[in-house]
Amino acid sequence: MLLRIRSQQEQKEVSGATIWIHCASGEFEYAKSILREVKDINPRAKILVSYFSPSYKTQIEKTNLVDYSQILPLDLAGPIQNFIKKFKPTALIIARSDLWPELLNQCAKSNIPTLLFSHTKSSVNPLLKPFEKTIYNLLTDIYVVSESDKESLEKITDKSVVVAGDTRYDQVQFRLQNRIASSKSQIYEGRNFFIAGSTWPEDEAALIYALTQIQDLPTVLVPHENDEAHLQNLEKELTRADLKSVRFSQIETWPEDTVLIVDQMGLLADLYAHCKFAFVGGSFKKKVHSVMEPLGAKKPVIVGPFYKNNREAIIFSQVRLDSNTTAVSVAQTQEELHSLLLQINKLQDLHNEKTAAIIQTEFTIKTGATKMVTQWLKQKGALS
């Protein structure tokens, strides 16, 4: 509470009106493509990003497309009124889910249009259900990700609900199209390799078991944590399994029959673009990391048993590449992981272009949410 009060006292001077984007914390990822599109349309537009959790403060502040950033004030009439007076927003767009009743109420009183975008309807605390309709009805418009989200919301709110999709698809597509190759990308370019990205020890244990059963599958491991202690332990586990390994930072060429351990940050997008197929980590631990980047790179993906936290993993696990394989394949055990590595490696050898086309088509269908948001801003007079 003190942080929120103090932050209001330290606000920068603001010149002119702003387009206001609010996110809880990591939901800022849903806003990145919108920031870019707004600035492309009008480079002089001023963008304010507010956030609830200070955990994302640094990431927001270092984004050069953000003109002003501020922790959200207390959800009380006075602090919200002062915030609005200070920043003079012409519109408020809220990423995904972070709704505050007094914030929306004061925007309505000030004739500031509000949009909830990339929204997914999830279950809520039963104690809050009586207030759901009231809060949703304070919004001007609601853009949801899927038809099922729309059906759920239309049972609650009188507002028009539009299926607009998920802005992260646009952001991933942009990142892949504008990826930065490593100065040492010749190490992996031209190699037909399998990659395991964002892995944890639980993932690595399953992968090492599977890899000991397979020959002639060049493999890249990209640990989620690349501190020295973890890297040394990973190398020991590989050695114990009679698998040779090298670190990316220490070589100029990648020896045959050697697992390549990527010990540098920022290379995953380029690695996914060059790989044959991928495994996404966290899925043998507790929660899978995002599968969007390898799918955006048109590559089949394998995940472990803990994947249902990720909507895209669920959706693409229904996208068929052939009669036996889906765009996201699930391995419940390390033995199943071994079988899937063999199966998808063979599929890619035979039908690489076909599988890429199927995944690309399904991915591209899901892009375009960002343009719908910026079109809304134009219609409300907030962007020209």
In a structure prediction context, what are the per-residue pLDDT tens digits for the chain, which is 384 residues long? 544 445 554 556 677 789 999 999 999 999 999 999 999 999 999 999 999 999 889 999 999 999 999 999 999 999 999 999 999 999 999 999 899 999 999 999 999 999 999 999 876 666 667 788 899 999 999 999 999 999 999 999 989 999 999 999 999 999 999 998 889 999 999 999 999 999 999 999 999 999 998 988 999 999 999 999 999 999 999 999 999 999 999 999 999 999 999 999 999 999 999 999 999 999 999 999 999 999 999 999 999 999 999 999 999 999 999 999 999 999 999 999 999 999 999 999 999 999 999 999 999 999 999 999 999 999 999 999
Would you state the pLDDT for residue 5? Answer: 47
Domains of the chain and CATH, by start: 2-165+368-379 (3.40.50.11720), 182-364 (3.40.50.2000)
Distance, CA of 300 to CA of 322 (rounded, Å): 12
Would you state the pLDDT for residue 13? Answer: 64
Secondary structure (DSSP) of 11-40: PPP--S-EEEEEESSTTHHHHHHHHHHHHH
- Residues 219, 222, 227, 229: what is their CA dihedral angle, to the nearest 10 degrees? -40
Residues 6+ apart with CB under 8 A from 186: none
Residues 6+ apart with CB under 8 A from 12: 68
Pick from 313, 271, 270: nearest CA to 290: 313
Pick from 35, 20, 13, 167: nearest CA to 103: 20
Would you state the pLDDT for residue 124? Answer: 62
Global pTM reads: 0.92
Pick from 271, 296, 278: nearest CA to 365: 296
Residues 6+ apart with CB under 8 A from 133: 156, 157, 158
Distance, CA of 139 to CA of 33 (rounded, Å): 22
Would you state the pLDDT for residue 347? Answer: 97
